[in-house]
Chain A
Amino acid sequence: MRIHRGRIAQHKHDELLRAYLKQNLHELIQQKELVVDGKVKTQLTTLDLPTLRYGDEEAYLAQGSGGAGRSFGAGEEGVQPVGGLLGGDHHGPEVRVELDFDEFVRLAQEVLLEELELPALQRMPRGGEVETEDLPELDDLDRMGLAADLNLEETLLSSLLRNVRERGVLDYEVDVRQDGWYFVEDPSSVRNHRSLEVYVLDISGSMRGDYLALVRKTIFLLWYALERRYPTNLRRYVVFQDVAEEKSREEFFSVESSGGTHISAGFEKAMEMLQGVSEYDTYLFLFTDGETSSGDFELAKRKYEEALDRFDLVCYGHVNPGSRGVGGFSEYVQEVARRRPNATFANLVDMASVREALRDLLARVDGGGKVRCGSTRRSSRGWRN
């Protein structure tokens, strides 16, 4: 048996690297452009022994690009740093650590769960048996199935075709093993316990630094909780300042903070996301510091009311890392949330308040979820009234 020393070394290396990244997570997560080309770029270099180095940029030996010098790092065009002069044991120059976005999210979630002392959740199995009282809808065909589910029409047709092909006779001589078609359950319908989650993020000028860090951490935790319970949920991402735009998951984490705050635009765009997905449970998560631009207040109120009617649950996160009083539009939402059962309000001050908000939210989602998990039908009205 061979000991895979290389892999053991790599494992050790990666563990140290993860520990190092975890320590620096709070700074990392604040980068405005968190995801570039699907990667999270960090300022950290790969782990190195702490040998001494020169501080300033120095002249180095290079070769024109016509030669076959090995290139690493950013060099000017036509200038290839000559590497590997020492060969053997000597390592090359520093390389910046890059992580896949998914890997980064996993890492962040690990840190956050630990920090908040939340329990780790089991992943919901995607396959396996689903317990349900409904009769299965046999709306797909397969070559294999139960005898009782034989589809006579398709079976006879394929028998006819086979006889023409093989014997040149226009005749029905059914051989079930060769011609049988059966009604089966459409595999996609079994996994159809889907909800729609719309994430709406305020990217006006004030959302930066600690604000951004807090929002991102909250979203990562939400993902964690919801993904484990409902792995097939549909997710949509909207950012808004003066105007709202839909973004891809990765672009959602690479937006420049600028402009004013038109919360109404955010709600409006979120409701557009509902088109064509009305059969699902629908959740709206909106994060803002609540300082809506003057003149937008009344419109935002109306849009909020409208969103409450159209979404099954509207969660409003008031991002408030400075722990100031709740004012402006947030104050209004806080008021409404006391009256309306499908509105929630969370004052996100620090990670402790995020934990409270999450616990509160998951209790509500799971309350509805219990019924829904057992059937393919829409059942969210359970907690609506």
Chain B
Amino acid sequence: MREYEAVIARVEELARQLGLRWDPVVFRMSEVEEIAEVASMGLPNRFVHWYWGGAYKEIRLQQDKSLLSILELVLNARPAYAFLRRSNTYLQNVLVIAHVYGHADFFANNHWFRKSNKNMLNEAERHARVFRAYEASYGRATVDSLLDSCLTVATTVNAFERDPARRRKRLVYFLEEHAPLEPYEREVLQAVREEAEYFDLIQRTHITNEGWATFVETALLRELLSAREWAQVCVHLCARPTPYTLGYALFGAIRRQRGFEGALAARRYYEDVRLIDETLTQELVDRLDLFVYDPRDRSRNTQVDAVKEMLIEQKLYRGEPRVEVEDPDHPRDLVLVHVEEGRKLDPRRIALYLKAVHALWKHPVRLRANGKLYTYDRRGLSTA
């Protein structure tokens, strides 16, 4: 790490001149395996679940292809933890360090991130230890299948939602309040929900966060690098995934309109939906070559409104079906409703999904979708 001390000091100085403010950053030199591990699990020392295993395998395979591989990881905590890859070249790591300060600034200043749990690293480790203890007393298989159910329903979290009545429409909050759970089951569900909220925030600000970090990175590197070094890193900057380039282009547009001060204000108050809604223009859509593709008739829609709608829908509902909890008539009732009646749900997944919910609710679970009423109880799935 010592060889980077000078460049880190220089980057911090430049970042301060740009008007960035951040909590301390701890850099850590790590092996590809460790990075793949944290990237697949989301947090270091988190509880081990088979679900991360598939992602871990995939990331390990990708790390052999240099352009798509993960160069760095930053965790939203106080202090922020940044993992640098030992196999990076010096220049790659300089790139990464500049990028990390963009994230650190975003973590410390963005309206939504300031309210986030900065102690999640420790929380996740504590959760893992608690789960291990439960494995000892209730059996590994019991805890594993409980975790399967909890992770399945935890996709319904919303980190932005504060209104209790609207939260109760979301399955995971409803179950936490009303399901007849054993104390240890409730604790596990709560822990999984807290972690899911931490990731939900990251997902809902992904484009803004990465866009800002890339924006800051280029601003810093322009000062820092010689023309020759700049030419070398350009390949890496251009090969970034779409969320990076999209976010970067949006912040560029903001700076052209409102100056760097305007960009600083945007990073403070925006999350993805607002950023896209306010700044995406037809010109940007054309330049980035974005379009909505329909595989059924192979048509492309390049209208900004269509692209915007698709992006915002992705951001609001993660491309997952919107299923809400209906107000119950009876305390043992749980009726889920698929809100967009026109669209069909994959019937193969319904039985497994309802089984997972039933494991937590312990009474019959109903789902209204595809023009049918599915019921899952002790005897399994039935349709009416």
- Chain A residues within CB distance 8 Å of chain B: 2, 4-16, 46-47, 49-64, 66-70, 76, 79, 81-91, 95
Q: How far is the CA of A7 from the CA of B295 in the complex (A)?
A: 37
19 sampled A-B residue pairs with Cβ under 8 A: A4-B33, A5-B37, A5-B46, A8-B48, A9-B48, A14-B57, A49-B51, A49-B148, A53-B346, A53-B349, A54-B345, A55-B345, A57-B296, A59-B293, A85-B242, A87-B243, A88-B42, A89-B42, A89-B202
The answer to whether B345 touches A83 (Cβ under 8 A) is no
* Known contacts A9-B49, A88-B206, A82 near B42 by CB under 8 Å: no
Are A61 and B350 in contact, CB atoms less than 8 angstroms apart?
no
Q: A46, A61, A68: which contacts B307 (Cβ < 8 A)?
A: A61
Identify the interface centre among B34, B51, B155: most chain A CB within 10 Å of its CB: B51
Interface string of B312-331 (1 = CB under 8 A from A): 00110010110100000000
On chain B, the residues within 8 Å of A81 by CB distance are 293
CA distance A81 to B319 in the complex (A): 13
Residue positions of B touching A, CB distance < 8 A: 33-34, 36-37, 40-42, 45-46, 48-58, 60, 68, 148, 151-152, 155, 196, 199, 202-203, 206-207, 210, 238-243, 245, 288-296, 298, 300-301, 307, 310-311, 314-315, 318, 320-321, 323, 338, 343-347, 349-350, 352-353, 355-356, 370
A91 to B56, CA, bound (A): 11
Q: How far is the CB of A8 from chain B (nearest CB, A)?
A: 5
Instruction: Pick the residue among A6, A53, A76 that contacts B345 (CB under 8 A).
Output: A53
Evaluate contact between B202 and A88: CB separation under 8 angstroms.
Answer: yes
Supplied contacts A10-B53, A87-B206, 6 more A-B pairs, CB within 8 Å: A52-B338, A54-B346, A55-B370, A61-B291, A61-B310, A85-B242
- B33 CB contacts on chain A under 8 angstroms: 4, 6
Do the beta carbons of B210 and A13 come within 8 Å of each other? Answer: no
Residues of B within 8 A of A63 (CB): 242, 288-291
| Chain A nearest CB, measured from B206 CB (Å) | 4
The main secondary structure of chain A at its interface with chain B is loop
Residues of B within 8 A of A13 (CB): 50-54, 56-57
Choice from B45, B199, B289, B370 contacting A88 with Cβ under 8 Å: B199
A54: chain B residues at CB < 8 Å are 321, 343-346
- Asked if A5 contacts B48 (CB within 8 A), the reply is yes
* Contact assessment for A70 and B50 in the assembled complex, using a CB-CB cutoff below 8 Å: no
Instruction: Give bound CA distance, A264 to B307, whole Å.
Output: 65
Q: Which residues of B contact A16 (CB under 8 A)?
A: 50
Closest to B310 in A: A61
Q: B349 near A89 (CB under 8 angstroms)?
A: no
Q: Which residues of A contact B34 (CB under 8 A)?
A: 2
- Cα–Cα distance between A97 and B123 once the two chains are bound (Å): 34
Measured CB to CB, the closest approach of chain B to A20, in angstroms, equals 11
Partner of B48, one of A12, A53, A62, A68: A12
B294 & A59 in contact (Cβ 8 Å cutoff): yes
Contacting pair B242 A51 (CB below 8 A) = no
Which of A15, A66, A90 is the most central at the interface, judged by chain B CB atoms within 10 Å of its CB? A90
Are B241 and A83 in contact, with the CB atoms below 8 A?
Answer: yes
Are A50 and B356 neighbours in the complex by a CB distance under 8 Å?
A: yes
Chain A's closest residue to B313 (CB) is A61
C-alpha spacing A10/B207, complex, angstroms: 29
Contact, CB under 8 Å: A60 / B318? no
Nearest-CB distance from A368 to chain B (Å)? 45
From the candidates A11, A56, A91, name the one contacting B343 in the complex (CB within 8 A).
A56
With A5-B46, A61-B290, A67-B245 as given contacts, are A51 and B349 in contact (CB-CB < 8 Å)? yes
Residues of A within 8 A of B294 (CB): 59
> How far in angstroms is the closest Cβ of chain A from B377?
17
Given known pairs A56-B343, A86-B318, the reply for A49 and B151 (CB within 8 Å) is: yes
Chain A's nearest CB lies how many Å from the CB of B341? 13
A50 touching B243 by the CB < 8 A rule?
Answer: no
Query: Pick the contact of A84 from B42, B196, B243, B347 — CB < 8 Å?
Result: B243
Interchain CB contact under 8 A, B241 and A6: no
Report B-chain residues with C-beta under 8 Å of the C-beta of A86: 203, 206, 314, 318
Residue from the list A57, A64, A76, A85 in contact with B207, Cβ < 8 A: A85
Contact A52 B350 (CB under 8 A): yes
Q: Which A-B residue pairs are the 9 nearest by beta carbons? A: A13-B53, A50-B352, A6-B37, A64-B289, A9-B53, A89-B199, A87-B206, A12-B50, A62-B293
CA distance in complex: A295, B118 (Å): 83
Q: Which of A56, A58, A83, A87 contacts B203 (CB 8 A)?
A: A87
Known A12-B48, A50-B152, A50-B355: A59·B310 in contact at CB below 8 Å = yes
Report the separation of the CA atoms of residues A46 and B52 in the bound assembly, to the nearest whole angstrom.
12
Q: Assuming A6-B33, A13-B53, A52-B321, is B289 touching A79 (CB within 8 A)? A: no
How long is the Cα–Cα vector from A10 to B305 in the complex, in angstroms?
Answer: 41
Q: How far is the CA of A64 from the CA of B290 in the complex (A)?
A: 7
* Chain A minimum-CB-distance residue to B354: A50
A250 to B262, CA, bound (A): 62
Q: Are B239 and A87 in contact (CB under 8 A)?
A: no
The distance from the CB of A262 to the nearest CB of chain B, in whole angstroms, is 44
Compute how far the CA of A47 lies from the CA of B206 in the bound complex, rounded to whole angstroms.
25
CB neighbours (8 Å) of B42 from chain A are 88-89
Which residue in chain A gives the minimum CB-CB distance to B55?
A: A91
Q: How far apart sit A47 and B58, CA to CA, in the bound complex (Å)?
A: 13
Contacts of B292 in A (CB 8 A): 59-62
Chain A residues with Cβ below 8 Å from B290 are 61-63, 67, 82
Find out whether the CB atom of A89 lies under 8 angstroms from the CB atom of B346: no
CA distance A284 to B49 in the complex (A): 48
| Residue contact B288 to A6, C-beta cutoff 8 Å | no
| Given A52-B320, A59-B295: A68 and B53 interface contact (C-beta under 8 Å) | no
A56–B239 Cα distance when bound, in Å, is 32
CB distance from B270 to the nearest CB of A (A): 16
CB closest residue in chain A, given B199: A89
Contact partners of B300 in chain A: CB under 8 A = 62, 79
> Does the CB pair B315–A9 fall under 8 Å?
no
- CB neighbours of A95 from chain B (8 A): 58
Chain A residues lying within 8 Å of B318, measured Cβ to Cβ, are 86, 90
Q: In the complex, what residues of A have CB within 8 A of residue B355's CB?
A: 50
> Closest Cβ of chain B: how far from A80's Cβ, in Å?
9
Give the residues in chain B near A70, CB-CB below 8 Å. 68, 241-242
Q: How far is the CA of A87 from the CA of B148 in the complex (A)?
A: 21
Alpha-carbon gap, A50 to B289, bound state (A): 34
Q: Are B314 and A51 in contact (CB under 8 A)?
A: no
Q: Is A67 a contact partner of B289 (Cβ separation < 8 A)?
A: yes
Q: Which residues of A contact B48 (CB under 8 A)?
A: 5, 8-9, 12
Cα of A106 to Cα of B87 in the assembled complex, Å: 35
- B323 CB contact (under 8 Å) in A47, A49, A52: A52
B203–A88 touching, CB < 8 Å: yes
